[in-house]
Amino acid sequence: MVRPKKIGLDYFPMDVDMDQDDKIYLVKADHGWEGFAIVVKLLMEVYKEGYYIEWDEKKAKIFSRKNLFDLDVVNDVINTCLEEGLFNNNLFEEHQILTSKGIQTRYVEATTRRKNVLIYKEFFLIDVNELPNNNLTLVNVCINHNSTNENDDISTQSKVKESKEKVKESKAEEIEEPAADDAIVFYQENFGVIRPAMSEILLAWIKDSGEAMVIKAMDKTLKQNKSSWSYVEGILRKWNEKGIDTIEKVEAEEVEFLNQQNQYKNNKPKENVPDWFVEQKKKQQEQEKPKQQEQGEDVAIMLENYKKNKASGDGP
């Protein structure tokens, strides 16, 4: 069974003189300690999710309501942070996310012991060749936020891997992660926009069961008129329990299931109806015939009277 990998952090470092930083000081100058609290709370939200958070009007309202901040003050603080570089303005305008090089640096440092860390190239502000990490998986994700469907076009996926023999030439090199992008594209085309946490889960299943099996499970889910990832995982778990690890075995199981259904239908015993029930049914039908004839005659008389009245002008 594949367990979801952790994305965010349980805690993050914060300098003891953070409030003396010029950028933070400007926030405090305009909004006082409430502005400082908003910045700290935003950083908590970012690190809880990973190294960035998506931000729009809806998120701003929820954030303000949950933390009892005035919405206008929150928006003003965000604008100040973008202007002063506490959050990267280019990434906010292009992708509607809040992040910065400092945030990403601290996140990468905090996740060095993890086996695999998913990073979106478009969002990453750090040169990977400057990093000692060999656990970063870089994914190209082009998100069109102007689209109502918010479809993501995921292209190539590569993994940054440090080679001891080539440390002098490069501290990190990108190697292709085969076929994972196909499963991710299939997910986004049929299940919806993929988030970092979902990407980690999907990559874990691909590594455990294979990309073809994951796509097959998603396709089977859709054919059964389902659209939840939990249903896909249920299929994959059943296959794992049965030792079904190839497409050929999946198809063989489907054929066996159809054969069992057909055999059951063909061998299904016919229900024996008692003779007394048949006789009773016949009597009921014979008793109903005179009533039906009588009702038919009454209707015919009513129609005939209606036509006469209508012809004489006495109709209703």
Residue pLDDT tens, the chain, 316 long: 444 455 788 888 777 777 778 888 888 888 899 999 999 999 999 998 889 999 999 999 999 999 999 999 999 999 999 998 999 999 999 999 999 999 988 888 888 887 777 788 888 888 877 777 667 776 665 444 443 344 443 333 343 334 333 333 433 333 334 345 588 888 888 888 777 778 888 888 888 888 899 999 999 999 989 888 999 999 999 998 888 888 888 888 888 878 777 776 666 555 565 666 567 667 777 777 666 666 666 666 777 777 777 666 655 5
Asked if residue 299 belongs to a domain, the reply is yes
Range of the domain at 41: 1-111
Q: Which of 111, 136, 165 is the last residue of a domain?
A: 111
CB 63 within 8 A of CB 45: yes
Which of 55, 82, 111 marks a domain boundary? 111
251 occurs within a structural domain: no
State the first-to-last Cα distance of the chain, in angstroms, to the nearest integer. Answer: 78
Q: What are phi and psi of 9, to 5 degrees?
A: -110, 150
Residue 212 lies in a domain: no
Which of 217, 178, 247 has its CA nearest to residue 2?
A: 217
Residue 209 lies in a domain: no
Concatenated DSSP letters for the chain? -PPPPP-S-S-----TTGGGSHHHHHHHHHHHHHHHHHHHHHHHHHHHHSS-EE--HHHHHHHHHHHT--HHHHHHHHHHHHHHTSS-HHHHHHH-EE--HHHHHHHHHHTTTSS-EEEEGGG--S-GGG---S-EEEEEEEE-TTSTT--EEEEEEEEEE--GGGTTT-S-EEEE-TTHHHHHHHHHHHT-PPPHHHHHHHHHHHHHH-HHHHHHHHHHHHHTT---HHHHHHHHHHHHHHT--SHHHHHHHHHHHHHHHHHHHHHPPPPPPPHHHHHHHHHHHHHHHHHHHHHHHHHHHHHHHHHHHHHHT---
Instruction: Count Cα neighbours of 143 within 13 Å in the Cβ-side half-sphere.
Output: 21
Distances from the Cα of 191 to the Cα of 119, 141, 233, 291, angstroms: 21, 16, 13, 59
Q: Specify the number of domains making up the chain.
A: 2
Last residue in a domain, options 111, 126, 142 = 111
